[in-house]
Structure 1
Amino acid sequence: MRIIAGEFGGRRLKAVPGTKTRPTTDKVKEAMFSMLGQFFDGGQVLDLYAGSGGLAIEAVSRGMDHAYLVDRQYAAIQTIEENIAVTKMPECFTIWKTSAEKALVKLAENGVQFNLILLDPPYREQQMLLQLQQFVDLGLLAPDATILCETDTTVDYPTAIPHYRLKRQQNYGITEVTIFKFID
């Protein structure tokens, strides 16, 4: 795994040891960021199921100002810390070892709003529609925020989701990438 483009481009990243996480391949990550737009002009990013932290690190490398990385697994947090050290810019990252649910409440209490949210939950724990609604209910979305969901292909989104517009959807083998725009 590596950081593909931007300020940290080319630097190697570690994967979380064991089988509890499923790292996004460089091919899929490159496709995701092509779908999102190659580079960003600042803003806050949330990586809610961070794993190795590769997606959030890529977003900051491509121009996001700050990333919040959340994971509940100790081995993931250790790997995220090691991967962030590779950037030599730890001030651009906030790491929380907690559940997604607790992190969302804490973020809302702190008044944080995100321009980009990256959702790559364990496939057996996919709750995309619930979490999309939580982002709205908790006021976590900046105007025109983008939400990228990486799931398996069994997720079936309704044709209309309140507060969101489907921007793009693409399959990569068993992985499905869906991008929503927040509309309020």
Structure 2
Amino acid sequence: MRIITGSARGVRLKSPQGQGTRPTADRTREALFSMLGARVYDARVLDLFAGTGALALEALSRGAENAVLVDRATQPILQENVRRTKMEVRAEIRRGDVYGQMAALAHAGQTFDLIFADPPYAQGDNARVLASAGTLLASDGLFVLEQGADEPVVSAADGLTLLHERRYGAARICFYAQQEGPE
């Protein structure tokens, strides 16, 4: 697994041993960032269930302003990958329960232009992470959820509504934004 383009292009990322982490495939990541386009530039990014940090680090490599990476179990891997990509100044790693960290970020008044979430497949976290993210997403922000292709798609949760979805092999990428109020 490597960074696809930008300032850290070609840098190989370290992955944890075993089956506990399922990094987003290079091809899927490339398609995702192609769809995001210029939206990444200068964005404030939150990467939930970060694992290797590939999504946040790809965003930073492509010009995102900064990123917060949250994972309960992969802090040493995240630190190594941040170091490899030379993103130490722009990346903040938070270790702990994703929902507790989300609450702390919301309490601090932080918002993000791009939120990536890649919870464990088939564990029922999709609706919960969406419901918890509404206050963290900037008004014109985008929430990107990676889930198993066979999992049901959540159409709306806590003010976020599904814009579109794409399937890539065993993964489905869903894009959400703040619901627009009546005019």
Structure 1-normalised TM-score? 0.90
Name which of 109, 112, 116 aligns with 1:111. 109
Residues 2 and 11 of structure 1 are in contact (CA less than 8 Å); yes or no, is this contact kept in structure 2? Answer: yes
The DSSP-based 3-state class of the residue aligned with 2:162 is strand
Name which of 89, 92, 104 aligns with 2:90. 92
Structure 1 residue 91: Cα displacement: 1.1
Structure 1 residue 61: Cα displacement: 0.8
Structure 2-normalised TM-score? 0.90
Residues 39 and 63 of structure 1 are in contact (CA less than 8 Å); yes or no, is this contact kept in structure 2? Answer: no
1:182 aligns with 2:178: yes
Q: 1:124 maps to what in 2?
A: 122
RMSD of aligned residue pairs (Cα, Å): 1.7
Structure 1 consecutive aligned stretches of length 4 or more whose deviation exceeds 4 Å: 158-162
Structure 1 residue 143: Cα displacement: 1.4
> Structure 1 CA distance, aligned partners of 2:6 and 2:163?
24
The DSSP-based 3-state class of the residue aligned with 2:153 is coil
> Structure 2 CA distance, aligned partners of 1:124 and 1:183?
26
Q: Deviations over 1:145-176 (max 9, x none)?
A: 10111110232235555633433211112111
Structure 1 residue 60: Cα displacement: 0.8
1:133 aligns with 2:131: yes
Change (3 A) 1:78 1:165: same
Identity over aligned residues, as a percent?
A: 37
> Structure 1 CA distance, aligned partners of 2:156 and 2:95?
33
Residues 45 and 56 of structure 2 are in contact (CA less than 8 Å); yes or no, is this contact kept in structure 1? Answer: yes
Query: How many residue pairs align between the two structures?
Result: 180
Change (3 A) 1:88 1:152: same
Residues 127 and 154 of structure 2 are in contact (CA less than 8 Å); yes or no, is this contact kept in structure 1? Answer: no
Q: 2:138 maps to what in 1?
A: 142
> Structure 1 CA distance, aligned partners of 2:34 and 2:124?
24
Compare 152-161 and 142-151 and name the one that shifted more.
Answer: 152-161
The DSSP-based 3-state class of the residue aligned with 1:147 is strand
The DSSP-based 3-state class of the residue aligned with 1:19 is coil
Q: Deviations over 1:68-126 (max 9, x none)?
A: 111111xx211111110012230101111101111111101211101001011111334
1:72 aligns with 2:68: no
Task: Return 5+ residue gaps in structure 1 as ranges.
Answer: none
One-letter amino acid matched to 1:178: C
1:167 aligns with 2:159: no
Residues 144 and 174 of structure 2 are in contact (CA less than 8 Å); yes or no, is this contact kept in structure 1? Answer: yes
Structure 1 residue 23: Cα displacement: 1.2
Q: 1:37 maps to what in 2?
A: 37
